[in-house]
Amino acid sequence: VTYHDTPVHSTNLFGELVQLWALRSPAACGLINKDGIQQFKCWGSNINRALGTMNQQTMINQGQAYRTTPVTPGGDNFFQPGDLIDLIGGYGFACVIVRTTGGGVMCWGRNDYGQCGQGFVTPIVPGYDGLNSGLSEPAFIAYNGVGTITNRIPSAMDCGIDHCCAVFDTQLYCWGRNHKGQLGLGDQV
Protein backbone atom coordinates (compact mmCIF):
# COMPACT_ATOMS: atom_id res chain seq x y z
CA VAL A 1 0.00 0.00 0.00
CA THR A 2 1.43 3.41 -0.97
CA TYR A 3 -1.01 5.49 1.08
CA HIS A 4 -2.69 5.65 4.48
CA ASP A 5 -6.17 7.11 4.86
CA THR A 6 -5.68 7.78 8.57
CA PRO A 7 -2.70 9.40 10.39
CA VAL A 8 0.23 7.08 11.10
CA HIS A 9 3.19 7.57 13.43
CA SER A 10 6.37 8.37 11.49
CA THR A 11 9.14 6.43 13.18
CA ASN A 12 12.10 7.02 10.82
CA LEU A 13 13.03 10.53 12.01
CA PHE A 14 15.71 9.32 14.46
CA GLY A 15 14.91 12.07 16.97
CA GLU A 16 12.22 14.42 18.23
CA LEU A 17 10.57 16.58 15.55
CA VAL A 18 10.83 20.26 16.52
CA GLN A 19 9.45 21.98 13.40
CA LEU A 20 7.95 20.61 10.17
CA TRP A 21 7.65 22.01 6.65
CA ALA A 22 5.84 20.41 3.73
CA LEU A 23 7.14 21.15 0.25
CA ARG A 24 4.84 21.58 -2.74
CA SER A 25 5.97 18.18 -3.95
CA PRO A 26 5.93 14.73 -2.34
CA ALA A 27 8.63 15.64 0.18
CA ALA A 28 8.94 17.19 3.63
CA CYS A 29 11.66 18.76 5.76
CA GLY A 30 11.98 19.35 9.46
CA LEU A 31 14.18 20.28 12.38
CA ILE A 32 14.91 17.15 14.37
CA ASN A 33 16.29 17.25 17.90
CA LYS A 34 18.77 14.40 18.32
CA ASP A 35 20.74 14.19 21.55
CA GLY A 36 20.11 17.88 22.27
CA ILE A 37 21.34 19.03 18.83
CA GLN A 38 18.92 20.32 16.20
CA GLN A 39 19.50 18.88 12.73
CA PHE A 40 17.84 19.94 9.47
CA LYS A 41 16.59 16.92 7.49
CA CYS A 42 14.40 16.20 4.45
CA TRP A 43 12.74 13.02 3.20
CA GLY A 44 10.43 11.79 0.46
CA SER A 45 10.69 12.43 -3.29
CA ASN A 46 14.05 13.55 -4.68
CA ILE A 47 12.65 14.37 -8.13
CA ASN A 48 14.64 17.31 -9.54
CA ARG A 49 16.91 16.93 -6.49
CA ALA A 50 14.25 18.45 -4.23
CA LEU A 51 15.97 16.96 -1.18
CA GLY A 52 19.19 18.85 -1.89
CA THR A 53 21.25 15.70 -2.23
CA MET A 54 22.26 13.26 -4.92
CA ASN A 55 24.05 10.60 -2.91
CA GLN A 56 24.18 6.87 -3.48
CA GLN A 57 21.49 6.20 -0.88
CA THR A 58 18.77 7.76 -3.02
CA MET A 59 16.50 4.90 -4.02
CA ILE A 60 15.05 4.46 -7.49
CA ASN A 61 11.70 2.72 -7.74
CA GLN A 62 9.71 2.63 -10.99
CA GLY A 63 11.57 5.67 -12.32
CA GLN A 64 11.10 7.69 -9.11
CA ALA A 65 13.87 8.89 -6.82
CA TYR A 66 13.04 8.98 -3.13
CA ARG A 67 14.43 8.73 0.40
CA THR A 68 12.57 6.79 3.07
CA THR A 69 14.89 8.03 5.82
CA PRO A 70 15.82 11.69 6.44
CA VAL A 71 18.83 13.29 4.74
CA THR A 72 20.49 16.69 5.24
CA PRO A 73 20.43 18.90 2.12
CA GLY A 74 24.02 19.51 1.04
CA GLY A 75 25.35 16.76 3.32
CA ASP A 76 25.55 16.14 7.06
CA ASN A 77 27.81 19.10 7.88
CA PHE A 78 26.32 21.63 5.44
CA PHE A 79 24.00 23.33 7.96
CA GLN A 80 25.22 23.98 11.50
CA PRO A 81 22.87 23.89 14.52
CA GLY A 82 20.95 27.17 14.71
CA ASP A 83 21.66 28.15 11.07
CA LEU A 84 18.15 27.64 9.77
CA ILE A 85 15.60 30.44 10.21
CA ASP A 86 12.85 29.27 7.85
CA LEU A 87 12.15 27.01 4.87
CA ILE A 88 9.90 27.89 1.95
CA GLY A 89 9.01 25.20 -0.56
CA GLY A 90 7.94 25.41 -4.17
CA TYR A 91 7.09 22.58 -6.54
CA GLY A 92 10.19 20.36 -6.54
CA PHE A 93 12.48 23.01 -5.05
CA ALA A 94 13.09 24.61 -1.68
CA CYS A 95 14.70 27.73 -0.28
CA VAL A 96 15.93 28.32 3.25
CA ILE A 97 16.66 31.52 5.10
CA VAL A 98 19.92 30.93 6.99
CA ARG A 99 22.31 32.70 9.36
CA THR A 100 25.32 31.00 7.68
CA THR A 101 28.01 33.38 6.37
CA GLY A 102 26.13 36.39 7.69
CA GLY A 103 22.77 35.17 6.47
CA GLY A 104 20.86 34.94 3.26
CA VAL A 105 18.64 32.75 1.11
CA MET A 106 19.83 29.40 -0.24
CA CYS A 107 17.84 27.33 -2.75
CA TRP A 108 18.09 23.88 -4.34
CA GLY A 109 16.10 21.48 -6.50
CA ARG A 110 14.02 22.12 -9.61
CA ASN A 111 15.35 25.12 -11.55
CA ASP A 112 13.82 24.95 -15.05
CA TYR A 113 12.40 28.49 -14.70
CA GLY A 114 15.20 29.94 -12.56
CA GLN A 115 13.22 29.35 -9.37
CA CYS A 116 16.45 28.68 -7.43
CA GLY A 117 17.60 32.23 -8.17
CA GLN A 118 21.03 31.34 -9.54
CA GLY A 119 21.00 33.50 -12.68
CA PHE A 120 20.62 30.44 -14.93
CA VAL A 121 18.12 27.68 -15.60
CA THR A 122 18.61 23.93 -15.39
CA PRO A 123 16.49 22.16 -18.03
CA ILE A 124 14.64 19.03 -16.94
CA VAL A 125 16.47 16.03 -18.38
CA PRO A 126 14.29 13.09 -19.46
CA GLY A 127 14.74 9.86 -17.53
CA TYR A 128 14.02 8.90 -13.96
CA ASP A 129 11.43 11.68 -13.76
CA GLY A 130 13.90 14.52 -13.31
CA LEU A 131 16.45 12.61 -11.25
CA ASN A 132 19.28 14.18 -13.27
CA SER A 133 17.83 17.71 -13.20
CA GLY A 134 17.99 20.59 -10.75
CA LEU A 135 20.54 21.89 -8.25
CA SER A 136 21.83 19.06 -6.10
CA GLU A 137 22.82 21.17 -3.09
CA PRO A 138 21.86 24.50 -1.51
CA ALA A 139 23.39 27.67 -3.01
CA PHE A 140 22.95 31.36 -2.18
CA ILE A 141 20.69 33.21 -4.61
CA ALA A 142 22.37 35.47 -7.19
CA TYR A 143 22.18 39.25 -7.30
CA ASN A 144 21.30 40.44 -10.82
CA GLY A 145 23.40 37.59 -12.17
CA VAL A 146 26.56 38.96 -10.49
CA GLY A 147 27.70 37.45 -7.21
CA THR A 148 25.28 36.30 -4.55
CA ILE A 149 23.02 37.96 -2.02
CA THR A 150 24.68 37.22 1.32
CA ASN A 151 24.69 39.07 4.62
CA ARG A 152 21.05 40.00 3.95
CA ILE A 153 18.23 38.18 5.67
CA PRO A 154 14.78 38.85 4.19
CA SER A 155 12.05 40.14 6.48
CA ALA A 156 9.48 38.10 4.53
CA MET A 157 9.63 35.43 1.84
CA ASP A 158 7.34 33.01 0.08
CA CYS A 159 7.41 30.79 -3.00
CA GLY A 160 4.74 29.75 -5.46
CA ILE A 161 4.89 26.74 -7.73
CA ASP A 162 7.67 28.12 -9.98
CA HIS A 163 8.76 31.43 -8.42
CA CYS A 164 9.77 33.14 -5.17
CA CYS A 165 9.59 36.64 -3.73
CA ALA A 166 11.50 38.05 -0.77
CA VAL A 167 11.64 41.43 0.97
CA PHE A 168 15.17 42.74 1.57
CA ASP A 169 15.39 46.13 3.33
CA THR A 170 11.76 46.96 2.39
CA GLN A 171 12.47 46.20 -1.30
CA LEU A 172 10.69 43.33 -3.06
CA TYR A 173 12.83 40.93 -5.12
CA CYS A 174 11.26 38.11 -7.14
CA TRP A 175 12.71 35.37 -9.34
CA GLY A 176 11.53 32.37 -11.33
CA ARG A 177 8.69 31.92 -13.78
CA ASN A 178 6.73 35.00 -14.88
CA HIS A 179 4.16 33.60 -17.35
CA LYS A 180 1.25 35.14 -15.40
CA GLY A 181 3.08 38.29 -14.27
CA GLN A 182 3.77 36.82 -10.83
CA LEU A 183 7.16 38.57 -10.51
CA GLY A 184 5.46 41.97 -10.39
CA LEU A 185 7.35 43.40 -13.36
CA GLY A 186 4.32 44.59 -15.29
CA ASP A 187 4.88 41.99 -18.02
CA GLN A 188 4.84 38.25 -18.61
CA VAL A 189 8.43 37.85 -19.82
* pLDDT single digits (tens) 50-66: 788 765 456 666 556 77
Give φ, ψ of 149 to 5 degrees: -90, 105
Q: Which domain holds residue 83?
A: 16-176
**Closest Cα partner for 37 from 14, 21, 68, 20?**
14
| Rounded Cα distance, 113 and 132, in Å | 16
* Any domain includes 11: no
The answer as to whether 3 is a domain residue is no
Residue 109: give its domain's CATH number: 2.130.10.30
Mean pLDDT (the chain) is 80
Higher pLDDT, 102 or 62: 102
User: Mind listing the pLDDT tens digit for each residue in 126-154?
Assistant: 655 555 567 778 888 887 656 677 778 89
Distance CA 157, CA 165 (A): 6
pLDDT for 61: 60
Based on the structure, what is the number of domains in the chain? Answer: 1
Is the residue at 91 inside a domain? yes
**pLDDT-based confidence at 164, cuts 50/70/90?**
very high
Predicted TM-score of the model (pTM)? 0.82
Closest by alpha carbon to 92, among 41, 27, 10?
27
